[in-house]
Amino acid sequence: MIEKEIAKKAEGYRDYTAENLSKIVKIPSLSGEEGDVIRELERQCREAGFDEVRIDGLGNLIGRVGSGPKKLVFDAHIDTVDVGDRSQWKLDPFSGLVKDGLVHGRGASDQKGGAGSMVTAGRILKELSYNGQYSVYFTFTVMEEDCDGMCWKYLIEEEHFKPDYFVSTEPTSCNLYRGHRGRMEIKVNFKGLSCHGSAPERGRNAAYMAARGALAIEKLNGELEPDEDNFLGKGTVAVTIMNAKGPSQCAVPDIGMLYLDRRLTWGETMESAVEEVKSVVKDYDSVEVPYYDKVSWKGTKYGQELYFPTWKLNEDHPLVQGGVEAYKRLFGKTPLIDKWTFSTNGVAVSGRHKVPTIGFGPGDEVQAHAPNEVTRVEDLVIAAKFYAMLPYALESDR
């Protein structure tokens, strides 16, 4: 049975998978600075025998095993956030230490762990001479931490590479996920009138405008409703940056600003969220969705507005059910089906371009962006089994 062969190979590659992950954890890879880790993963994919390995115009690495007519994509973003206060780390954030069943370091869970398991899965599929109806792609994508999904907006819209099915390998604690809330960033600008601080009644204080706006946003957050089936939960809105400034420290500020993090449940859109803000905040000058653009490590400038659509996939969809079948054949039980709290590249693939998407990844969501980040070696093995099994499961009785 193919599941037994896959399981045996993945167990045999336990140390290989952990060491491959260790190698890429040791390489810092902030958004826009991923070149060195992409080159190491390129080496790993070639060593594993992938049929095709290439780097696209933005700097994403794309590997392929098999040559079927349908595209099944496993994706891991390989950029990370920075380490923050190093005094909170017990080990060097880039140690990549493998010890007592754990891989230590920044990105071990979020989300280089998925990349490590993907390399092993590709190697297993190649050794099994997989020749089914899927071309199985493994994508190692860039700049996700800065702008979720932009890498896939580029791949689909500029490279014309659109999957039939998509699997995010963001951490799920090896559970099967089928959606998450969307998100967006909103900037609210206020314009006051400056005057001397000794006579504030002569002016209009933009700091007070922003403060009243912040209280209105707090109230709005409490009024947001969950989605109809309560799978994704309620949307949220929070003030994350607030400032005001004027001509001097002795002058009433004439410029104020609120920066908002807005999480979007099913049915909420960029337009509806902006209108809500306009309806509750008074005296604003403008409300805008900021635009992100940055030069990638490859030297390509690309960007988009900071809006990342909500997505989910029905539990009875063939991709979800294929994931359930793969898991049951490997582990003899049904996986927990759930959702992420945070955002992933699914916002572009599923949210923008309606490609059926699920998630399955090693490591825990709570490890993301935290000091002393780790992932379990056992999770890496489980994930490698699942990725190698999924194309076979999707072909069963279909």
Q: Are 80 and 29 in contact (CB under 8 A)?
A: yes
Q: State the catalytic residue, choosing from 34, 56, 79, 364.
A: 79
- Is 316 among the catalytic positions? no
Pick among 3.40.50.720, 3.30.70.360, 1.20.120.640, 3.40.50.300: CATH of 185-295: 3.30.70.360
Cα dihedral 376→378→384→386 (10° resolution)? -110
- pLDDT, one tens digit per residue, over 230-283 is 999 999 999 999 999 999 999 999 999 999 999 999 999 999 999 999 999 999
CA dist., res. 282 & res. 213, Å (int): 7
**Residues 58, 147, 315, 386, CA torsion sign:** positive
**pLDDT, position 247:** 96
- pLDDT, one tens digit per residue, over 265-276 is 999 999 999 999
Amino acid at 106: R
Amino acid at 73: V
- At residue 62, the 3 state secondary structure works out as strand
Q: State the catalytic residue, choosing from 3, 40, 110, 144.
A: 144
**54 pLDDT band (50/70/90 cuts)?**
very high
- pLDDT, one tens digit per residue, over 59-90 is 999 999 999 999 999 999 999 999 999 999 99
- Is 254 among the catalytic positions? no
**pLDDT, position 175:** 98
Pick among 1.10.10.60, 3.50.50.60, 1.20.1560.10, 3.40.630.10: CATH of 2-180+310-395: 3.40.630.10
Task: Give me the percent of the chain exceeding a pLDDT of 90.
Answer: 99
The residue-averaged pLDDT of 92-107 equals 98
Amino acid at 294: K
The residue-averaged pLDDT of 286-293 equals 97
The residue-averaged pLDDT of 324-337 equals 98
Reply yes or no on whether the pLDDT at 397 is more than 60.
Answer: no
Cα dihedral 280→281→284→289 (10° resolution)? -80
- pLDDT, one tens digit per residue, over 122-137 is 999 999 999 999 999 9
CA dist., res. 133 & res. 66, Å (int): 8
* Cis amide leading into 133 (omega within 30): no
Task: Give me the percent of the chain exceeding a pLDDT of 70.
Answer: 99
**398 pLDDT band (50/70/90 cuts)?**
very low
Q: Does this chain's domain 2-180+310-395 share its CATH topology with 185-295?
A: no
**396 pLDDT band (50/70/90 cuts)?**
confident
CA dist., res. 136 & res. 140, Å (int): 13
Within 8 A by CB and 6+ apart from 265, the residues are 181, 224, 225, 226, 227, 232, 233, 234, 235, 310
- pLDDT, one tens digit per residue, over 185-228 is 999 999 999 999 999 999 999 999 999 999 999 999 999 999 99
Amino acid at 11: E
Amino acid at 56: D
CA dist., res. 186 & res. 288, Å (int): 6
**pLDDT, position 315:** 97
> Where do runs of H (alpha helix) occur along the chain?
2-12, 14-25, 35-47, 112-127, 150-157, 206-223, 270-280, 318-331, 346, 377-395
Cα dihedral 29→34→35→39 (10° resolution)? 80
- Domain limits of the chain? 2-180+310-395, 185-295
**pLDDT, position 158:** 97
- At residue 179, the 3 state secondary structure works out as strand
Neighbours of 201 (CB within 10 A): 8
Kind of pairing, strands 165-168 and 70-77? parallel
CA dist., res. 307 & res. 304, Å (int): 8
